[in-house]
Amino acid sequence: MLLSPALAISAVLFVLGVAGVLFRRNAIIIFMCVELMLNAVNLTFVALAQSLGMGGQVFVFFVMAVAAAEAAVGLAIILAVYRHKQSVSLQNMNLLKDG
Amino acid sequence: MTVTFFWIFGGIAIASALLCITRRNPIASALWLVITLFALAALFVLLDAQFIAVLQILVYAGAIMVLFLFVIMLLNLGRPGPTDIRGPAGLLTATVLAGALLLLLRPISEAALPASIQLPPGTVQGLQEHQGIIGAVANPLFDAYLIPFEIASVLLLAAIVGAVVLAKRKL
């Protein structure tokens, strides 16, 4: 009975994450929005695990492991970029855009 | 009662996610995201995933968000400066695209699961009573999902090595 509210909430959270990625320029905030999207998907997994079995909860476990790995590497990349550019704004990350 | 609480915590999650993506200060954003993660943990409890809720608070709200705040403060991004929110054209594009995505995602909340793949109601609670809250997650994790679990450990090792290599000035 909680399935459809959970799916609705997770859809809204996912869309908010996508909107954040689209309209922010700060790399760290974009990163946090990606975490928000991962969490929205986790909510879907947990909601469906209620009627489809524990596999969904196990998958949330893996999503968390991947998110932790992604956060560690991504933040290290942001640190490395900051050392070169003195900024984390995506406006300044245009090496591949035009010469 | 459960449904009421579910909507309350869902509302908190959505409102704080909205604040998270609209705050200019990255630290404020990160703290609102922590509130979202806590509200999601509450939703997990209401969905019979107590162990996942604890993990959510320990790993996400604890470890990952502390890492974010640590980097924000290390780079001294909390100070006032030019806004990083895109101009009107960017905002309009983002709103239109996000609205379109919301329209596309709307049908999933109304989808009905076919009865043939659904477990009988109370199966998950039965498993949790029989094997314990953690056992119900741990049994499939170390049985059917053993190989993915081992691969996850390799992934974490690779991430640790990668983060050290990237963050070091000179190896």
Chain B's closest residue to A80, CA to CA, is B167
Using CA coordinates, name the residue in chain A closest to B45.
Answer: A46
Ramachandran angles phi, psi of A93, nearest 5°: -100, 75
pLDDT value for B171: 57
Domain count, chain A: 1
Q: Which residues of B touch A12 (CB under 8 A)?
A: 14, 102
Closest CA to B10 of A54, A47, A59, A67: A47
Helix axes B65-74, B26-46, angle to 10 degrees: 180
**pLDDT at position B55:** 92
Closest CB to A49 among B60, B86, B124: B124
Calpha distance A4→A6 (Å, rounded): 5
Q: How confident is the model at residue B15 (pLDDT cuts 50, 70, 90)?
A: very high
> Chain-wide mean pLDDT for chain B?
89
Query: pLDDT tens-digit profile of A3-56?
Result: 889 999 999 999 999 999 998 988 999 999 999 999 999 999 999 998 888 889
Neighbours of A98 (CB within 10 A): 5
pLDDT tens readout for residues B117-150: 888 888 888 888 888 889 999 999 999 999 999 9
Please report, for the domain that includes residue A69, its CATH number. 1.10.287.3510
Q: Which domain does A76 fall in, by range?
A: 3-92
Tell me which of 1.10.3720.10, 3.20.20.140, 1.20.120.1200, 2.40.160.50 is the CATH number of domain B1-80: 1.20.120.1200
Please report whether residue A85 resides in a domain: yes
User: Which residues of chain A are within 8 Å of residue B119 when distances are taken between CB atoms?
Assistant: 51-53
* A98 in a structural domain: no
Q: Is the pLDDT of residue A89 over 80?
A: yes
Judge whether B53 and B45 are in contact, CB under 8 Å: yes
* Closest chain A residue to B115, measured at CA: A51
**Cβ-based contacts of B47 with chain A (< 8 Å):** 2, 6, 46-47, 49-50
Domain chopping of chain B, boundaries:
1-80, 122-171
Residue B170 scores a pLDDT above 70: no
